[in-house]
Amino acid sequence: MPFETLSDFLRELERKGDLRRIAAPVDPVLEVTEITDRISKSPTAAGYYPSGTAPFGGEGPKHGTRGVNQALLFEKVGTSGLPLVINTYGSFDRICLALGCDNLDSLAEKIGELVRPELPTSFMGKLKKGMDLIKLGSCSPKLMGGAGLCQEQVLTDSANLYDLPIIQCWPGDGGKYITFGQIITVHPQTGVRNIGMYRVQVFGEKLAAMHWHMHHDGARHFRAWAKLGKPCPLAITLGGPSVLPYAATAPLPPGIDEHLFAGFLMGRGLELVSCKTIPLQVPANCEIVIEGYVDPEKTVLEGPFGDHTGFYSLADQYPIFNITAITHRRNPIYPTTIVGKPPQEDYYLGKATERIFLPLLKMIVPDIIDYDLPMFGVFHNCAFIKIRKEYPYHARKVMHAVWGAGQMAWTKMLIVVDEDVDVHNQDDVLFHVAANVDPRRDTVIVDGPLDILDHAAPALGAGSKLGIDATRKWSGEGTVRDWPAEITMDPATVEKVTRRWKEYGF
Ligand SMILES: [Mn+2]
């Protein structure tokens, strides 16, 4: 079962030996990042590296310091009296614990059951219909009377962002950022709620900036408020039920309430309470809630920020967020995260989405057996796709279908392989690229929309994409030669040797 509060989740991690307390004082500027970055690139206690091989950037933890990939609880961060927790979701074990599943594929099956063939044909249509069905069930959010756990202490005049242990992640960052807040907004006319995860740069005791991209649901809500000439009420919620950070990052279609999705993941409705100074409701069991309004007109130069691409995203004008209150439970814990060169915590949140959305992707592109978003591709730069090839140029059909499917459309490089290739094994995929591809015959370049964080794209959010067909080639695909068979051992011998392995003295 997923956990009701961040503290409950952390208690279980500590019991399992998967949380390290750091009592030594640390600087919120850069030092927390440098420690966390080393730990996120270290093996887990079981000696397991994220990619199954050595971590990105070389063999073992850098600078000769060894660590174990655990959640980190910093007890003394700068002058703040509050502890900070980071890397909480930064391993497969921890994200599965947070989502209450044995493995991410079993969670994908649960989601897959929502999506039946008689449902609408579009990717998002199916998910929306599925979510409508569960709304009828017991997973709808419930408004509770009175104050929530997150409102044991209410600060209005004395609310001060500098009392929180907010970190500066990287040397070139524009300042300190809240990086792991669930941002709650509501549409002024439809009343539809949204939870997103956007970074928030701190500019003063009660002043911050909201960084959201044009297409984010939060930005859409903000524009609707601004059109009415009204400030947009907004709550930054920190901690809460262990499914919340994931629900906030899942690429749900607009109009689907992440509260409902979180309820589905929890198996029961999320408990909400009314905010103290703004007309919004927030999950009752959060650690900290920052209430306020986004100014419809005023902006500020926000950024730069060391992003999940491994590069800084540039500074730009973003709307101002005026804080009206900070509420929190007694003895709250401040959760945060860093992004940068992988692996970081966001890799595992991304993997959860990769697995959970496989049944939906299969619904619109039934040719796909499985896929993998490799760590080096930081979500949008590269995808490996496995198909059961049935006719010439089948791989090309699949490429174009994927480039038309939801957020997968932003994938810059697609590699398609046959069904006998292990799509989750980078070396196996690259072996088949190197071996099976004639560059002129087997690559395709198309123009289209790209991730707006892609700094290599010739225009912002637009450029070209590469498809590589690494399947074995059939006649009719421009090859006139016989394709050789690939070497594999016969199954009987494999079985026999496996059975007798100990007997050989190994
Ligand atoms: Mn949304």
Both 326 and 375 in one domain: the answer is no
What pLDDT does 112 receive?
A: 77
Output the CA 363–ligand 1 centroid distance in Å.
21
Q: Which residues contact 207 (CB under 8 A, 6 or more apart)?
A: 161, 320, 321, 322, 323
Least confident stretch, 245-254, 455-464, 492-501: 245-254
482 inside domain: no
Q: How far is CA 162 from the centre of its chain?
A: 27
- The total number of structural domains in the chain stands at 2
* CATH classification of the domain holding 370: 3.40.1670.10
Both 331 and 435 in one domain: the answer is no
Q: How far is CA 86 from the centre of its chain?
A: 15
Number of H helices, E strands in the chain: 14, 23
Q: Which two tokens stand for residue 498?
A: 């496996």
Both 281 and 185 in one domain: the answer is yes
Q: Are the C-beta atoms of 181 and 244 separated by less than 8 Å?
A: no
Token pair 């050989």: residue: 504
Token pair 């300042």: residue: 175
Both 69 and 172 in one domain: the answer is yes
Q: Is the bond into 233 cis (omega within 30 degrees of 0)? A: no
Q: Position 161: which residue type? A: L
Both 282 and 393 in one domain: the answer is no
Output the CA 259–ligand 1 centroid distance in Å.
10
Region 35-40: mean pLDDT is 93
Q: Is the bond into 332 cis (omega within 30 degrees of 0)? A: no
Region 102-112: mean pLDDT is 85
- Expressed as residue numbers, the domain containing 392 is 365-469
Both 304 and 373 in one domain: the answer is no
68 inside domain: yes
Return the half-sphere exposure (C-beta side, CA atoms, 13 A cut-off) of residue 373.
26
The answer on pLDDT for 289 being more than 80 is yes
Q: Which of 37, 173, 257, 307 is the catalytic position?
A: 307
Output the CA 403–ligand 1 centroid distance in Å.
21
491 inside domain: no
Region 116-140: mean pLDDT is 65
27 inside domain: yes
What backbone phi and psi angles, to 5 degrees, belong to 440?
A: -70, -45
Both 388 and 310 in one domain: the answer is no
502 inside domain: no
Instruction: Write down the pTM of the prediction.
Output: 0.92
The answer on pLDDT for 169 being more than 50 is yes
Edge-to-edge order in the sheet of strand 334-335: 19-22, 71-74, 84-86, 334-335
Secondary structure E strands in 10-140:
19-22, 71-74, 84-86
Both 24 and 77 in one domain: the answer is yes
The answer on pLDDT for 129 being more than 80 is no
414 inside domain: yes
**Torsion sign, CA atoms 466, 472, 478, 481:** positive
Both 204 and 251 in one domain: the answer is yes
10 Å Cβ neighbour count for 134?
A: 15
Pairing label, strands 443-449, 288-302: unpaired
Output the CA 453–ligand 1 centroid distance in Å.
19
Q: Which two tokens stand for residue 337?
A: 């995260």
Output the CA 60–ligand 1 centroid distance in Å.
38
Both 384 and 324 in one domain: the answer is no
Output the CA 421–ligand 1 centroid distance in Å.
35
What pLDDT does 80 receive?
A: 96
Q: Are the C-beta atoms of 241 and 262 separated by less than 8 Å?
A: yes
In order, the DSSP letters of 50-71 are TTSSSPTTSSSSGGG------E
Q: Which residues contact 34 (CB under 8 A, 6 or more apart)?
A: none
Is 307 in the active site? yes
* CATH classification of the domain holding 95: 2.30.110.10
Both 255 and 385 in one domain: the answer is no
For residue 99, the SS3 value is helix
Q: Are the C-beta atoms of 430 and 446 separated by less than 8 Å?
A: no
Output the CA 439–ligand 1 centroid distance in Å.
40
Both 123 and 176 in one domain: the answer is yes
Output the CA 251–ligand 1 centroid distance in Å.
7
The angle that helices 258-266 and 123-136 make with each other, rounded to 10 degrees, is 60
Least confident stretch, 58-67, 106-115, 208-217, 463-472: 58-67
